[in-house]
Homo-oligomer: A and B are copies of this chain.
């Protein structure tokens, strides 16, 4: 099935003009664009992709260059279908946005001004996420292993309303350059690759990355977090009412 799709897609690509986006950066060879023929085949054959379909329906571009964590939270909250704040422009409909997801409760944890200036650390996003009715588990890569990450992340990506945010150093996977947050959307066992829905959509497309490379990129020191390592966050519906 995948081989046939790949052959068909390769044929289509050979016949079609090559689309080059002048505005996003080229991908290094270790990453597979999710909208390439190879990336599409990976999704079709993926072993865990429950997260994908709700996340793409809520896919966002981070509002500023320091809002990757904010955009990632909004995608997860909307995908989990949590009770959302009112939005005057959309009344009577409600939804999370990169503006209303930051409120008095998050301000007490991490001021909006700080997020605008320096973004969010792994431990901080754990606190910000916990403002909503969700169960949150923060995992520093240095306290975890590749096998534990792969196994936990795959299980979450296969379950409705379960999500994984990754906090990684871009340059370790060959991208430009700093610390970044985005949600994972799917996992393919055969190639051992995860799909990242990169919220810096002006900069990079969604990509499939090898689990080991992603783990190495999470297992990097964050100077904004007292040199603790980056890592991942597991988000699930609250198991019991408050």
Contact = CB atoms under 8 A, between A and B. Distances in A.
Contacts of A17: 160-161, 237
A23 B83 contact: yes
Interface in A74-119: 78, 80-81, 83-84, 87, 89-90, 93-95
A64 to B, nearest CB: 5
A38 B16 CA distance: 31
A202 B63 contact: no
Interface in A184-242: 200-203, 205-206, 237
A40 interface: yes
A19 B81 contact: yes
Contact of A84 (B19, B23, B59): B23
A53 B65 contact: no
Given A90-B65, A159-B16, A34 B22 contact: no
A242 to B, nearest CB: 17
Interface string A1-19: 1000000000011001101
Contacts of A59: 56-57, 59
Contact of A23 (B54, B81, B161, B200): B81
A238 B119 CA distance: 40
Nearest to A95: B202
A91 to B, nearest CB: 9
Contacts of A64: 89
B16 A83 contact: no
B160 A19 contact: yes
Contact of A53 (B12, B23, B35, B202): B35
Given A23-B84, A34-B53, A34-B57, A16 B160 contact: yes
A133 interface: no
Given A53-B39, A53-B40, A202 B93 contact: yes
A160 B64 CA distance: 30
Contact of A201 (B39, B53, B80, B95): B95
Of A12, A21, A81, A94, chain B has the most CB atoms within 10 Å of the CB of A21
Given A40-B53, A205-B57, A65 B89 contact: yes
Contacts of A12: 50, 158, 160
